[in-house]
């Protein structure tokens, strides 16, 4: 296991309706020293928002009840300005355009571990990241 990243106590929140993806992301981030809170849907996240700060959210774009952009908009409506990384397993240019128009970056599944970890580190440090499309 790696040494915990600076500021590690603040959680990374993951929202994905695919239990396998949720479990894999959680394992990867926890093995890097991050505290992780995982949710199977946007409504589940929104009903359980923590009182404290969140350093970053990883949100799947395509989910049945509420897509990733709808979750993002609800978070902003609640004045939660933690950085958001959107992931998708659907390489549709329309999805990429919508995510980019919202000012977010998109990472396509299957996720590269290095790309995801670099993105999380960058947004937690207040920066941005470049995702390959």
- Give all domains of the chain, ordered by start, each with its CATH number: 12-124 (3.40.50.2300)
Q: What is the pLDDT of residues 68-114, one digit of tens each?
A: 999 999 999 988 888 999 999 987 889 999 999 999 989 998 989 99
Q: What is the model's pLDDT at position 49? A: 83
Q: What is the model's pLDDT at position 52? A: 65
Q: What is the pLDDT of residues 20-69, one digit of tens each?
A: 999 999 999 999 999 999 999 999 999 998 666 777 999 999 999 999 99
Q: What is the model's pLDDT at position 27? A: 97
Q: What is the DSSP string of the chain?
A: -PPPPTTTTSPEEEE-S-HHHHHHHHHHHHHTT--EEEESSHHHHHHT--SS---EEEEES--SSS-HHHHHHHHHHTT----EEEEES---HHHHHHHHHTT-EEEESSPPHHHHHHHHHHHHTT-------
pLDDT > 70? residue 14: yes
Q: What is the model's pLDDT at position 8? A: 47
The band of 133, judged by pLDDT with boundaries at 50, 70 and 90, is very low
**pTM of the predicted model as reported, rounded to 2 decimal places:** 0.87
């Amino acid at each position: 296991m790696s040494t915990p990243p600076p500021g590690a106590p603040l959680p990374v929140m993951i929202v994905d309706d695919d239990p396998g993806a949720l479990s894999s992301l959680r394992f990867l981030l926890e093995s890097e020293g991050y505290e992780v809170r995982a949710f199977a849907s946007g409504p589940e996240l929104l009903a359980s928002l923590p009182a404290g700060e969140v350093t970053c959210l990883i949100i799947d774009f395509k989910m049945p009840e509420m897509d990733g952009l709808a979750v993002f908009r609800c978070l902003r409506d609640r004045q939660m300005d933690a950085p958001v990384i959107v992931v998708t397993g659907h390489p549709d240019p329309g999805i990429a355009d919508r995510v980019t128009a919202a000012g977010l970056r998109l990472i396509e599944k299957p996720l590269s571990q290095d790309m995801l970890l670099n993105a999380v580190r960058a947004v937690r440090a207040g920066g941005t990241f470049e995702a390959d499309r």
